[in-house]
Amino acid sequence: MFLYSAVVLSALALASSTEVQQCPGRSEQSLQDKVQLTPCKKLPCRLKKGTNQHITVHITPETDLEDITNEVIAEVLGVKVPFVGVDGNSICDKMFTESGEKAECPLKAGNKYLYKDSFPILSFYPTIEVNVHWALKSPDGEIVCFEVPSKIVR
């Protein structure tokens, strides 16, 4: 399995990063500086029903990447449930260069990219505390993986 690293692209990203946790078995350096969730001011992130959650992840692949998919799982009372409409989707159409230009797969090794996306917090989601597991994956393995304690609220 290939491992990839993500990097800090600017002081702005550092100032607006979100406190996230390592996925089990991972120890990625500077993970806090690579992920921004909006609006998430503090943990647990409050995911308000009927709104959109926005995410930005900074990555620099170590090898060329032909395709990248999301793995977005909510762990509820020990049960892992995929986020409907987000989990398993290709994200190649949501990639940008560090200068903000649209990028496309394949992503080139050593280049800095931003993954930018948003997803709805659907009204039928239960009002409950969840741990959100988020990974970006290529056919060769995980690119980045993090977890965010969250609370779905009205």
What is the DSSP secondary-structure string of 33-99? GTEEEET--SSSEEEETTSEEEEEEEEB-SS-BS--EEEEEEEETTEEEE-TTTTT-B-GGGEEETT
Cis status of the peptide bond prior to 44, with omega within 30 of 0: yes
Beta-carbon contacts of residue 3 (< 8 Å; ≥ 6 apart)? 62, 141, 142
Tell me how far apart the alpha carbons of residues 121 and 119 are, in angstroms, rounded to a whole number.
7
**Inter-residue contact 132 to 111 (CB < 8 Å):** no
pLDDT score of 140: 87
pLDDT score of 8: 24
SS3 12: helix
pLDDT score of 127: 94
- CATH architecture of the domain with range 11-153: Sandwich (2.60)
Q: Is the dihedral of CA 14, 18, 19, 21 positive or negative?
A: negative
Per-residue pLDDT in tens (0 to 9) along the chain, 154 residues = 222 322 222 223 333 578 888 888 887 777 778 899 998 988 899 999 999 999 999 999 999 999 999 999 999 888 999 987 789 999 999 999 999 999 989 999 999 999 999 988 889 888 999 999 999 999 988 999 999 999 999 9
CA nearest neighbour of 115 among 63, 77, 71: 71
**Inter-residue contact 56 to 134 (CB < 8 Å):** no
What pTM did the predictor assign? Answer: 0.82
Q: Within 13 A of 31's CA, how many CA atoms are on the CB side?
A: 16
**Inter-residue contact 69 to 154 (CB < 8 Å):** no
| Pairing of β 35-38 and β 45-48 | unpaired
As given in the structure block, the two tokens for residue 129 are 């505390």
pLDDT score of 15: 38
- Domain boundaries along the sequence of the chain: 11-153
